[in-house]
Structure 1
Amino acid sequence: MKISNIAAPFRKTAFLAASAAALTAVTASADEHTLTIGMSFQELNNEYFVTMQEALESAAESMGAEVITTDARHDVSKQVSDVEDMIQRGIDILLLNPADSVGVETAVLAAKEAGVTTVAIDAQANGPVDGFVGSKNYDAGYKACEYLAQQLDGEGQVALLDGIPVVPILQRIDGCTAALDEHEGIEIVTTQNGRQERTHAMTVTENIIQANPELDGLFSVNDIGSLGALIAIEASGQDIKLVSVDGHPEAVAEIQKADSPFIATSAQYPADMVRVGLGLAMAKYWGAETAPAEIPIDVELIDRDKAADFSW
């Protein structure tokens, strides 16, 4: 995504100036102190987060900063422990991608007490974070499910696959539900937890299809879960249209296939998200008073016509 797509949050020239000053200050003080950036991921077994990690490492290298990354593996207790360890190692900035928005508050409080600048990335975190950068997740759910409803001509049975208890997932479900509720002929027959995992989502989808033989459509909160659901849909032999959120390369490749049940995904921009998050953290770290508390990142619906030209 071009930075112009998220231009609105950056119209405050003071914030831009502060960010530039922060980068200059980092370069000027490199000999005195090497900036250390810690990032705790909810998982790294997903190309979405790997893309984010690579973008962070590239940005940090260009600034001469050190990066420490950890993988919580969707275990909030491990994530809290990981953050506490990074604090002990002397991080200056914490970019936090929560495994659980509520459960991670202990880590946020520990960072605050240690004087570490903390910005939540992708999912908001409870506690005194200094900022948040994430996708417009309500829009992501809305766009995907509005497209699904259009492709169903406003009629049919639809199931939803939700996931872990973080704000973005809840917002995607809310957006999807709002879009489907605008069509009187659409019935949401069930909402079940696909855990955002391929194998589990496949099993859950198999059960949904067996319980709802007239199912016409399915929305998954992420592409990895959708790829599992796709296996179940194709095995059933039924005409069930599938939409999702993320823009994962495998999902985009499936969407390009003319006969695939996978018809669209609301794409996020993980590399831009972490770059903007780092910029916000730098501004906060160097004391920018006009830096915004939150920066939303636009999403884009990728259907068959757009899939060939899209990549993270």
Structure 2
Amino acid sequence: MKPQLGVAAAVAACLFAVAGCASGANTTGSGTSGANGGSSASFVKKDPLILGYSVYDQTDPYFIAYAKGVQARAAERGAKVVISDSKDSAQIQVTGSSQLISRNISALLITPVQPDSLPATISAAHAAKIPVLVGDIGAKGDYDYFVQSNNEAGGAQGAEYLCKKFDDGQPHEVAFIRDDPGHAAGEARGKGFKDGLAKCSNLKLVSEIPGQTIEAAFKAGQDIFAANPNVEAIFGFNSNAVQGAVRAAETSNKKPVIVGFNGDPIELEMIEQGKQEATVAQDPFGQGQALVDAALDLLDGKEPKFTDAASNTLEQPTTLVTKENLADFKAKLNKQ
């Protein structure tokens, strides 16, 4: 239809703007649309009912699980799903989202590569009477729904595990391989971890170094052990940080307690092998399901489930996984 083609062109024109976005764009914003009435969009539930999902990267195990959650719930509720793989590229995502909007979808689900690129896409979708629901990473603009893990509480879970592990009254040194500055989820995890660690008087955070990639985390781990040879525990903000920490420990002949965040398959394998003690696991499959439920609520004129209605946000709990509950956790994943 002509209006939709015009919308697609308008979004595609934002490519140059997206290319100039800062790398620290993963900052959670506040939406004022959808069920809270801030948007002027009047959403249309079309027939056939099709949901478009712009996924971050279809080669990443976390986002593969996310897409499976979207597809499973959509099938349960009689909706079809069209997926656009952004391949970890903001430019590809903008173009792919515009193409989804032009395909007669009823709702746009999106896991943003760069949240700063969302406002233009959201405006284009709203012009086509399509709600926009954001899954993970961060959200900006007049979005209608945002689901993510409770990252701060998850960070606190990691700290609580270490507090119990070293509950002997003796001093122990801890290090933190954190996210690069400016990423909302990583900052929330770090805050939860550091605030939680501060409650344990015998644990001291002696080093905090960024390690976004496995190689960067490996270097961070080496630097940690070189400067603080008595470090007994490392908390990694994601599975890359943990993999780097494990490699650094092996090459430095150290055996620290390593706790991670995400619950990716590689982490579960390292827990089974005894290289990692615990991980704070997210539920990407469940988040994908929540996106679909919220999309259909909005299309039916209902208010979705929120934990913070002011920002149109649902935060989901995380699960601490150790060797003790690993088998049960993996069995649950196998049922998804």
TM-score (norm 1): 0.80
Q: How does 1:46-61 map to 2 (within 5 A)?
A: 46-61=60-75
Q: Where in structure 2 are the equivalents of 1:47-86 lying within 5 Å?
A: 47-86=61-100
Is it true that 1:309 corresponds to 2:328 in the alignment?
yes
The alpha-carbon distance between structure 1 residues 34 and 265, as it changes in their structure 2 partners (threshold 3 A), is same
State the Cα distance separating 1:82 from its structure 2 match: 2.5
Shift of 1:179: 1.0
In structure 2, how many angstroms separate the alpha carbons of the residues matched to 1:203 and 1:70?
35
- Alpha carbons of 1:223 and 1:151: their partners in 2 closer, same or farther (altered >3 Å)? same
User: 53-62 or 173-182: which moved more?
Assistant: 53-62
What letter matches 1:106 in structure 2?
Answer: A
The size of the alignment, in residue pairs, is: 281
Query: Superposition RMSD on alpha carbons, in Å?
Result: 2.6
1:274 and 2:271 matched = no
SS at match of 2:142: coil
Consecutive unaligned residues of structure 2, counting only runs of 5 or more, are 1-34, 36-43, 307-311
The residue aligned with 1:39 is: 53
Residue aligning to 2:318: 299
Q: Quick one: which of 94, 104, 110 aligns to 2:124?
A: 110
| Equivalent position to 1:235, from 242, 251, 258 | 251
Counterpart pick for 1:251 among 267, 283, 289: 267
Q: 1:170 aligns with which of 187, 196, 217?
A: 187
Letter in structure 1 aligned against 2:66: M
Which amino acid letter does the alignment assign opposite residue 158 of structure 1?
A: A
d(CA) in 1 for partners of 2:74, 2:265 = 25
Moved more, 214-223 or 137-146: 214-223
Q: What is the aligned counterpart of 1:225 among 241, 262, 265?
A: 241
Taking the aligned partners of 1:192 and 1:114, their CA distance within structure 2 comes to 45
Instruction: Tell me, yes or no, if structure 1 residue 179 matches structure 2 residue 193.
Output: no
One-letter amino acid matched to 1:132: F
Q: By how many angstroms is 1:165 displaced?
A: 4.4
In structure 2, relative to structure 1, the CA distance for the partners of 1:129 and 1:46 (3 Å cut) is same
**Cα displacement (A) at 1:270:** 1.4
CA contact (8 A) 2:297 2:304 kept: no
Mapped contact 1:101–1:166 kept (Cα < 8 A): no
What residue is the counterpart of 2:175 in the other structure?
A: 158
Q: Deviations over 1:161-205 (max 9, x none)?
A: 22584422221111111111222333333333322x334433332
- Contact preservation (8 Å) 1:240, 1:261: no
Residue identity (%): 24
The within-5 A match list for 1:96-135 is 96-135=110-149
Name the CA distance, whole Å, in 2 between partners of 1:93 and 1:296.
Answer: 21
Deviation at 1:289, TM superposition (A): 4.2
Partner AA of 2:325 in structure 1: K
Structure 1: gaps spanning 5 or more residues: 1-14, 16-24, 27-31
- Native 8 Å contact 1:40 1:79 kept in 2: yes
The answer on whether the counterparts of 1:42 and 1:98 sit within 8 Å (CA) in structure 2 is: yes
Q: Distance in 2 between matches of 1:72 and 1:227?
A: 25
Q: Which amino acid aligns with 1:294?
A: T
CA contact (8 A) 1:162 1:193 kept: yes
- Structure 2 partner of 1:141: 155
What's the offset of the Cα at 1:56? 1.7
The structural deviation recorded for 1:130 is 0.9
- Rate the CA distance shift 1:159–1:297 in 2: closer, same or farther, 3 A: closer
Counterpart of 1:221, as a letter, is F
Alignment match, 1:215? 231
Alpha carbons 2:175, 2:208 under 8 Å: kept? no
- TM-score (structure 2 length as normaliser): 0.74
8 Å CA contact 2:173, 2:206 repeated in 1: no
* Secondary structure of the corresponding residue to residue 104 of structure 1: helix
User: What is the CA–CA distance in structure 2 between the aligned matches of 1:183 and 1:99, rounded to whole Å?
Assistant: 36
Secondary structure at the counterpart of residue 138 of structure 1: helix
With over 3 angstroms needed to count, the CA separation of the structure-2 counterparts of 1:209 and 1:272, relative to structure 1, is same
Query: In structure 1, what is the Cα distance between the partners aligned to 2:116 and 2:158?
Result: 27
